[in-house]
Amino acid sequence: MVRYLEFIKAICKQSDMWELYNPRVIGLVHNIIQCVQNDDEVDRETREYVINLVLSNLIIFSKYNIYESLEESE
């Protein structure tokens, strides 16, 4: 089983968003990945897809300017 905790911490730490570099966020993302990894009913390909999806979204969100997006939506 691959351990993603240090990778998740590194992604969050590189972000300028204090909301993201937060132990609760890191724990939440890590827990999601652990649930997928430990689910025996999920095949390997699906497991890898979901984990990559979660990590990709974390990377994208860490670079995302949420305040600009909120202003644009008004």
The pLDDT tens digits for 28-55 are: 999 999 999 999 999 999 999 999 999 9
> Average model confidence (pLDDT) for the chain?
86
Q: What size, in residues, is the chain?
A: 74
Which residue segment(s) compose the domain that 37 sits in? 5-73
Average pLDDT of span 57-65: 83
**8 A C-beta contact, residue 21 and residue 15:** yes
Calculate helix-pair angle for 5-14, 23-38, nearest 10 degrees: 140
Q: How many structural domains is the chain composed of?
A: 1
Percent pLDDT > 90 in the chain is 57
Copy the structure tokens of residue 30.
């890590």
Task: State residue 21's pLDDT score.
Answer: 87
Q: What residues have CB less than 8 Å from 41, skipping those under 6 apart?
A: none
Band of pLDDT at residue 63, cut at 50, 70 and 90:
confident
Distance CA 26, CA 45 (A): 24
